[in-house]
Each structure stands twice: as structure tokens, then as C-alpha cells.
Chain A
Amino acid sequence: MAKSISQEFVKGLWDEIPPFRLVLGLCPALAVTTTMKNGVGMGLATTFVLVCSNLLVSLMRNIIPSKVRIACFIIIIATFVIVTELVMQAYAYTLFQNLGIFIPLIVVNCVVLGRSEAFASKNSVLPSLADGMGIGLGFTIALGLLGAVRELIGNGTITVINEIQVFGPSFEPFEFMVAPPGAFVALGLMLCIMNIIGKK
């Protein structure tokens, strides 16, 4: 069971990448990925909460009584979510408006609570940090990728910082992809591609 810290970090990028391998945290993955920028922004906000809550949970794992641990985890996570919310409102207001209701909803994102419960409450500080960063980065990459695919097909653009036209003016956008049904289909097909590549 003694894995090195780098292994804990790397597993979040492929073996346990949410929301593909761990089917958790679907709601933000589907809802905010209409552009690449939103997807990455959501991913980074979640990563911040994930790393901080993993750190704190792992520091306090011997103090928290096991009967009320879920409630304690939720309070820790909620605190960091409020911090994220206020910081984003102050420094990244347009992103804050685009993500809207999904920032306070990080608190009920199963990825964050799942990592606290399954990993940070049983492991010491450094592996927990690595785990949080790995899973968070994996989530960010997945959301960014999904956002990029949907935006590229549905709108013909890629937004990194500014909008970039990829296909030129004659491209007829396939608007289905940025509409809600497209989110489900895009994620389903990406999962299918992941299954083909990562056959075990």
C-alpha cells in the first residue's frame, strides 16, 4: 500500500480521472463546459477547494470523531467554498457570473467529499496534498477538454483568454453541442473513447 507521493499525484491524471473513471462530479462537468475557459475556471476552483480541504482534513484526522466525520468534512469544505466564492467575486467577476450557481454547489460536489472520506481521512498530510492536486488537475483537464470539444463544434471557437476563431467565417456551427442535450452526448462519447483507449 506504500505508494510514493508522485504515484498518488499521477493516478488522478489517468487511472482515477474524474468524471470519467470516477463517475462523480457530473453536474458541474455537464453544466459549465459550454466554453473551454469556463471549464478550466470551474476545474481550478474545484482544485483549490479540494487541495485545501484535503490538507485540513488530513491534519485533523485524529481529532475528528468518526461518528460525526461527514458533518465535519462538509463544514471544512463549505468554508473553503465560501473563500473561493468571495475571491472570485472580487477578482474574476465575469467568470463568477458565468459559473453562477455552480460555485456554491462545489460544496455538494461528490469528488471533493469523496476524496476527503476515501483518502485524506486515512492518510498523512503529504500524500493527501498530492492526491488533492492530482485529482483536481485531472478534473480541470477533463473539464477543459470537454469544454474545448463542445465549444469547437458548437460555436467554431476556442476561448483560452480571448475567443479564437478556428474554422473561419464559413463554418456553420452545430449548435446542438452547446445546448444541454449536447452536453450529455459529448460526455457519453468521450467516455466511450476513453474506454477504447484504456482497455484493460
Chain B
Amino acid sequence: MGEYFILAISCILVNNILLAQFLGNCPFLGTSKRMETAVGMSMAVIFVLVMAGLITWIIYHFVLTKFDLEYLRTIAFILVIASLVQFVEMFLKKSIPALYAGLGIFLPLITTNCAVMGVCIINVDKDYSFMTALVSSFSYAVGFGLALILFAGVRERILLSRVPKPLEDTSIALVTAGVLSLTFFAFKGMV
């Protein structure tokens, strides 16, 4: 149990996927202008990342390795993720419309979110077992949500304050992300 806990802490805080590993930065800057979109995106990522992490793990270990097709990993994973996203979207629309209304517009964006693809590759690269892959996918996704929501909170405040003209918009957002990343950097010695 202890090792899973350490893994979870290290994935959420120390190796935060957005601020330390730089995966998924396009949605990080794109959806953080308003709190609602940030929360929606985080929930959608948590939902899809856990499922994608598990399914790609199963496919890699039971299909690709068995037939010596490891080099097809990239194409197999992206197809799995794309069809999974499509399937989840259809399923939610049909059976849980309330959740669909919340996540709806963010789901298609997830296909090209490198955080999802990245975690799937990390899981097989590091030879994680099935349970470890489950814990790491979930914790990476929680870390993504944590950083995104914190960042959205800061950015809403920036909108109200005066920013020098050349620094406006993306530029100040990146510098802010740097400061946020610095605070996460402080967790480095923990694990």
C-alpha cells in the first residue's frame, strides 16, 4: 500500500505532469482563462486518462508484445485514444446527459492532449504493473487538474490587474506558469 501512496504523491506533486514534465501545455494555456472551463477540462482529463491508461496497458501487454509489434505502439495508442474519446462521448450523450453537458465540448479536444498519450507511454516505458499503471494514471490526471485549476484562479485575477502591453495575454500567462512551476519545484526533495 505504501509504495502506491508514494507513487501517487510523486505523480501529483513532484513530477506534476503540467509543470514538471511539460505534457498537455496547450489545453493548460487554452482552457485556463475561466474557472468553469478549467474545471470541465480537468474532469474530462481525469475520466479519459484513467480509461486510456488502462486500455493501452492491456493492448500493449496482451496484443503488441505477443505479436512482436512494439514498434507500432505510437499508432496503436493514438487510435485507441481517439476511438475511446469518441466512444465515451457517445456513451455519455446517451446515458448520462448531465455529465455530457458538463464535459461535452472538452472531450474532442482530449484526443490531441499530449498528457493522455504521454502517460500511456510512460506507463509502458517504465514497465509498470497493472495496478501501478492504474494508480499512476489516476494521480497524473489529478495532478493535471490541480495545476490547471490553481492556474485558472491566478489567471482570473490577472485579468483584473494592469499588465504592460507587450506582456499581455500568452506572455504573462507563461511567466505566471513559471512562478507556479517554481512552487511545485519545492516538492522536489519529498520523495
Contact = CB atoms under 8 A, between A and B. Distances in A.
A101 B175 CA distance: 25
A73 B168 CA distance: 34
Contacts of B19: 180-181
Most chain B CB within 10 A, of A25, A74, A86, is at A74
Nearest to A31: B22
A130 interface: no
Contacts of B125: 101
Nearest to A197: B166
Nearest to B23: A27
A74 B25 contact: no
Most chain B CB within 10 A, of A75, A113, A192, is at A192
SS of A interface (majority): helix
Interface in B1-37: 19-26, 29
Given A74-B82, A182-B178, A184-B177, A191 B171 contact: yes
SS of B interface (majority): helix
A160 interface: no
Contacts of A71: 82
A194 B133 CA distance: 42
B84 interface: no
A23 interface: yes
B172 interface: yes
12 contacts: A27-B114, A31-B23, A74-B79, A107-B74, A108-B78, A108-B112, A108-B113, A108-B114, A110-B26, A180-B181, A185-B174, A195-B171
